[in-house]
Chain A
Amino acid sequence: MAAISSSQVTLNTVKPTVGAGEPLITSEQVNLYYGTSHALKGISVTLGERHVTAFIGPSGCGKSTFLRCFNRMNDLIDSVRITGSIKIGGQDIYSKDVDVIELRKRIGMVFQKSNPFPKSIYENIAYGLKLHGMKAKSDLDSTVEQSLRGAALWEEVKDRLHTSAMGLSGGQQQRLCIARAIAIKPEILLMDEPASALDPIATAKIEELILELKKDFTIVIVTHNMQQAARISDYTAFFYLGELVEFDTTAKIFTNPSKRQTEDYVTGRFG
């Protein structure tokens, strides 16, 4: 029995870009412990290049934790211990000779709560670029404009680039954070519930943007909103209690999941 008929959920109709789908991120038997609690249990998954992959699941199921493994943001928490391996482009990112800072420069991240720096709009984007060693004013100017255009924010802020980013609306702030993340031209963009604090119109803009961005970036997005996962992702992973229950194309997960738990979740019977 199909979990949801296609009339209820609009599925992502954007065709995968040519050349997309080559395996980029491979995780094997990833276990993660917060102190003694076992938060991720043996997760193995392969995510394709220039795909949008959505992580769904109820709160506390480990989807955000797993996302943060990819740019090693979990390192910041003292008690975290990770086993297994995560390879990006064939390189084990947890091996000793990996420079975390270099890794993070190649993986952009957008957080749940918009977190622009208390600086001007221009400085917010230029900061990441300066970290990457861009110095010339003309380069900075053009990249800032390009990133703001990429995040569909340029028209709204072009006249006040040098005013504080804290004066923007919530949706604009989140798009600024996306602009900041894509300005440094990462290969992978991690998004941790980027639209959960936004109103429907701002959410629609962000979703449109994600569909636009997948031409250039590999995107992994954590979301609570199943319609959102259905609308924008090519692949969907369903997490439950620290385990990866099912990983498949979005169409399959939402119309014909192979596990009972997945079906229950996407039809709204629990979670």
Chain B
Amino acid sequence: MTNAPHTAKRTVGWMGIHRGHKARPAEWLAEKLIFLVSLTAILMVFLIFVFVAREALPLVFGQMNSAAARPVIPAKEMGKLKPDELRDYLALTPEEFKRLDKEALTALMEVREEEGKEAPKDKDATVNTTEWKYLFAPHEWSDSRPEDRYVWQPIGRIHKYNLWPLIIGSLKTTIVALLFSVPLALAAAIYVSQLCRPSLKEWLKPAIELLSGVPSVVLGFFGLMVMATFLQGVLGYQSRLNAFVAGIALGLAVIPVVFSIAEDALTSVPRSYTQAALALGASKWQAAWQIVLPAAAPGVFAAVVLGFGRAIGETMVVLMASGNASIMSFSLFDSTRSITATIAAELAEAVFGGHHYRMLFLIGAMLFIVTFLTNLAGDLIMHRLKGRLEGKAK
């Protein structure tokens, strides 16, 4: 009798402890699946951005021309042009150019000549308004009032694409919304998580979060019909729909976002901090304000950043309640128009592939980048705050 079978059996019994074995195929599969799903989410965001940016690229590289009157070469002189020059002149892609025969090209040139005869003759008719300097720098247009040097007016003879009215419009409504909603949401979060009775909390928390279930079109309608009239009655300003009304209505959409995250952050601060403060003789309010709020600062900050994202990205409320006039004004009580509302309102009417269409994608991509950078900066600041609380950073 030997020990061999015994030893062999033992070895078999312990095989499973080796690292990296796919000893649990179901778990391995589940893990890979989850990884794949999360990867898809990242990929989707990336693809959306690529799609939006791709539509805007011709603008970025200055390949679009929105001039009402373009230089005309008589059709007779077609023979003098090199193929590349001709293709550029007719603004065709290489594939389109290849498909057309000489007759068709001549016809196109004749159309251009006709267009040239009918084109407006004033000084701005030959301006390509999609150039960067017309997007950001002021310009006195020959067909609008002298004070409208910053103007977004994509219809009419000359397409004016100055972005400042939209950027200012978005910022105005966003800032009003945040100034209105963040203090309210934070106060509510502090009250619900720290001060109120548990039985009351069970009612208050779902009630406030229910606000996020209100469709934004309903909020917009409410802003448009009820709040606009009420606020005009109280404050007595001129235009009934303006950045202020839109901002307040937008604030209603932001409150539940900020509240929900801030309340979670405050509740997750260990109760032992509060108890220590109370045992030292702090009032409930002092403990909440001086101990719990600073300890929850990273989460509260994240709540505000997300609120900003919601406010600047929200479309319907602003579209309905802001008055939708792209006026360059810093006054909160002038009608205004945000970037998102512009895209929503104009995309359906823009010529597919045209400069207006691409311009809308450009501002969409810009919005995307702004939100991305804000979130990135927010994340960095949050990590700094967290590190400081945990005693890592100086």
Contacts and interface: CB of A to CB of B under 8 A. Distances in A.
B215 interface: no
B365 interface: no
Interface string A105-135: 1011101010111110000000110011000
A104 interface: yes
Which secondary structure dominates chain B's binding surface? Answer: helix
Contacts of B390: 118, 164, 166-167
Most buried by A among B278, B280, B394: B280
Interface in B318-368: none
Given A164-B388, A166-B389, A119 B278 contact: no
A76 B276 contact: no
Contacts of B276: 109, 111, 115-117, 177, 180
A163 B278 contact: no
A118 B279 contact: no
Contact of A78 (B198, B275, B392, B394): B198
A105 B286 CA distance: 14
Contacts of B275: 73, 76, 111, 115
Interface residues of A, number: 31
Interface string A73-110: 10010100000000000000000000001101101110
A131 B280 contact: yes
A167 B391 contact: yes
B291 interface: yes
Nearest to B291: A117
A76 B282 CA distance: 13
Contact of A105 (B281, B294, B389): B281
Contacts of B273: 115, 117-118
B272 A164 contact: no
A225 to B, nearest CB: 21
Interface in A171-226: 177, 180-181, 184
B290 interface: yes
Contacts, number: 79
B298 to A, nearest CB: 11
A107 B280 CA distance: 8
A262 interface: no
A156 B290 CA distance: 27
Contacts of A251: none
A177 B45 CA distance: 48
Given A115-B275, A118-B295, A184 B280 contact: yes
Contacts of B295: 117-118
A165 interface: yes
B270 A115 contact: yes
Contacts of A64: none
Nearest to A110: B279
Contacts of B40: none
A163 B391 contact: yes
A233 interface: no
Given A165-B391, A166-B391, A167-B391, A111 B280 contact: no
B281 A132 contact: yes
A236 interface: no
A53 interface: no
18 contacts: A71-B279, A78-B198, A109-B276, A115-B270, A115-B272, A115-B275, A116-B276, A117-B273, A118-B391, A127-B280, A127-B290, A131-B280, A163-B394, A164-B390, A164-B392, A166-B389, A166-B391, A184-B281
Interface of B: 197-199, 270, 272-273, 275-283, 286, 290-291, 294-295, 388-392, 394
Interface of A: 71, 73, 76, 78, 101-102, 104-105, 107-109, 111, 113, 115-119, 127-128, 131-132, 163-167, 177, 180-181, 184
